[in-house]
Each structure stands twice: as structure tokens, then as C-alpha cells.
Amino acid sequence: MKLDIHVQRGAFRLDVSDAWPEHGVTALFGPSGAGKTTLLRALAGLETHPGCHITFGEETWQAPDLVVPPHRRGVGFVFQDPALFPHLSVRQNLAYAGKRAAMKRHRIPDLPDITRVMELDALLDRRPDSLSGGERQRVAIARALASAPRLLLLDEPLASLDTERKERILSQLMQIRREWDIPIVLVSHDLADVVRLTDHIVLIDEGCASRCAPFARAMTDFTGPLAHRADAAVPVDVTADAHDAETDMSRVRLGDGHIWVPGGPYGPDYPLRLVVHADRIMLARAPVPPGTDGGIVVPCTVRDVVASGVSTMIIALRSGSAEFLARTTRRTVSALQLEPGLAVFAHILGAVVH
């Protein structure tokens, strides 16, 4: 989709001129007040500002002489506080959205599938006011899906949820990403949520948006802000090639090595996303020192070394086609004499697969 969006509202100004992918998950990441909701609403057609130009696929949604209304754009929108019809049951809320979808030409995920993925079977006869915040949010996502969207816009759908409920919805969103080819724009101010799901990222602050970039590349780019964050973490897409039933751990291929991670068994083609946290890597010059667990060690090459603050150093590592970051100290860099091109061994602590 091509966006040329300009908003002036009092002292606030939003400018975005970019092309975003029409597949996978694009995260719109930035602090409160940055303009994320404004941008999403303009994209959905919920607010129109003069001078904007928006195209999706072959269709023009907004041009100087044209404004396609929201219901004709085929956009599913989920707000932070979901607005469901209070007098209708969950089933009726979904059916209402489904009825509108039946008039559309494009492919529709059917209601039983949506209900299964969003785990709503037990809730279908309940009214929205009897649901918890997390349950309402799941219904809202299901309802947006039932409207057969060509584009799903999620405005901080996880912001008000506790960790457990958030985890559940995150894994459901990953399933949506895997099962249906619906492009998703996910607004978030929490990097931990973004790293789980995102394929592309747009950074936004005070109305200024960065160019949309592949997430792993944006994360490992020293010239951008993400690599320098204390919670920096790089997603690496991997597959498992072994499972140990006794410990319930799976072996995944990571670049030129293998590591064991909790969970499984996973099929050889099952896509897994390994999240490698920069502050949970220990670097060593020797392969696997005696008395350590070789099951978490991956051979790497140092690609780059950069200072981040006074004592912190960020190391970009490459192993095969995988790239990730290690956050370490100036002391370690000098003790190991880390420099670009050096072969090292990364002890990957607490990598999580999703």
C-alpha cells in the first residue's frame, strides 16, 4: 500500500510518505502521542485530511478528487477498547460482521475457523458485558476477521491486558498470520510484543515516521534506535530438527549451529521464531569450555562493534544467514579483543521460541 498522509491538528503535525507491504505483520511502533492512532484512522478512512493520497493494491482509497468511505475499504479495525454490540451475544456479534462480509468478493476465513483460532467456542452465547477485557478483545479481533478484511488494523490491542491474556492473544495473532494471508498493521509501544510477531516495522515519533523496514534489519541497524535499547532482541526464523521427550526440549538450527530450546515436538516444516535477546548472550573465544552446556553455543563471526553509552557495547553477530545482537561491556570487548571478522562462540541464554 502507498501512503502519503499529512495531518495538521493544532501544533501536532503528522507526515508519512512510504510504501508498506501488503502481507505479513507491520508494526507501527512509537510512544504515546506519536500519531499512531491518527495514522491508522486516516488509513481506514475514519478521518480524512486534505492532501492525502492512499492506495491499496490496485485501488485508490484517497486522492484529491476521491475519498472511499471506511466500509468500502475492506479494513478490519480493532481498537484498544473494543466496542461490541452490547445487546447481542458473541455469536450474533460475529454473525453481524459475517453478513456484511458475505457481500464482498474476496476470500473469507469462515466463522468456525475464526472461532477455533480465537478460542471462542465457550463464549459464543455470552453477552459482551459478561466478558473479561481479554475475552472482549478476542471477540473484537474475531469480529474484525469475520468481516473478511483485506487489511487488519490493530490499535494497541494488548495494551490493557495482563501478561497471561496477552500471551494468549499474541499466539492467536501468530496463528492468524500463519493461516490466513491477511496483512496486519499492529500498533504497539511495547517492543516485547512487536518482536514476537512483526515482519516489518515503522518507527514513529512526534508525527515523523521512519521508512518501513524488515524488522530484523531495523533491529540490527546501529544507526537506528532499536539496536541500542536495553531490551533489544532479534527474531530469527528457524525450524526444529530434533525433540527430546524427557526434557521436552527441541533442537533448532541457528545459523551455523544448533541450540536446544524448551517446547515441541515441532514438525520439520513448522515455522518457529526464535527471539534472541541481546542482553542474554555470553561471548567466548573458545568453542565449548569444559563444564559448560554445549547445547546453547553457536559459532559466529563478529560483524560490527559499536559503543552504546559509556560502558555498554553492542556486538552484531552473524552465523550462517542468521544475524543477531549481543549487548556486552567495554571490559568484555577488550578482554576478548572483539573486532569485526573475529570468530567467536555465542552462548545463547534463555532464547524463546514462538
Residues that bind ligand ADP (CB under 6 A): 9, 12, 30, 32-38
Question: Of 27 and 315, which CB lies nearer to Mg ion in the complex structure?
Answer: 27
Question: Of 37 and 115, which CB lies nearer to ligand ADP in the complex structure?
Answer: 37
> Residue 288 contacts by C-beta under 8 Å, 6 or more apart in sequence?
294, 297, 345
Q: Which does 87 bind (CB under 5 to 8 A by kind): ligand ADP, Mg ion, none?
A: none
The one segment of 36-44, 84-92, 119-127, 176-184 that binds Mg ion by CB under 5 A? 36-44
- Whole-number Å distance between alpha carbons of 306 and 319: 19
Q: Which does 9 bind (CB under 5 to 8 A by kind): Mg ion, ligand ADP, none?
A: ligand ADP
Q: Which does 33 bind (CB under 5 to 8 A by kind): ligand ADP, Mg ion, none?
A: ligand ADP
* Contact pick of 26, 37, 198, 328 for Mg ion (by CB under 5 A): 37
**4 near 15, Cβ under 8 Å?**
no
Q: How far is the CB of 155 from Mg ion (least distance, A)?
A: 6
- Whole-number Å distance between alpha carbons of 189 and 34: 10
CA distances from 92 to 104, 124, 299, 337 (A): 19, 8, 55, 65
Pairing between β-strand 25-29 and β-strand 184-188 as defined by DSSP bridges: parallel
**157 near 126, Cβ under 8 Å?**
no
Q: What is the DSSP letter of 212?
A: P
Q: Which amino acid is at 314?
A: I
Q: How far is the CB of 32 from Mg ion (least distance, A)?
A: 7
Regarding 137 and contact with Mg ion (CB under 5 A), the answer is no
Q: How far is the CB of 66 from ligand ADP (least distance, A)?
A: 24
Question: Of 34 and 120, which CB lies nearer to ligand ADP in the complex structure?
Answer: 34
Regarding 38 and contact with Mg ion (CB under 5 A), the answer is no
Q: How far is the CB of 37 from Mg ion (least distance, A)?
A: 3
**Helices (DSSP H) in the chain: which residue ranges?**
36-44, 70-73, 90-101, 111-117, 133-146, 163-179, 191-197, 215-219, 330-335
Q: Which does 157 bind (CB under 5 to 8 A by kind): Mg ion, ligand ADP, none?
A: none
User: Where along the sequence are the contacts to Mg ion (CB under 5 A)?
Assistant: 36-37
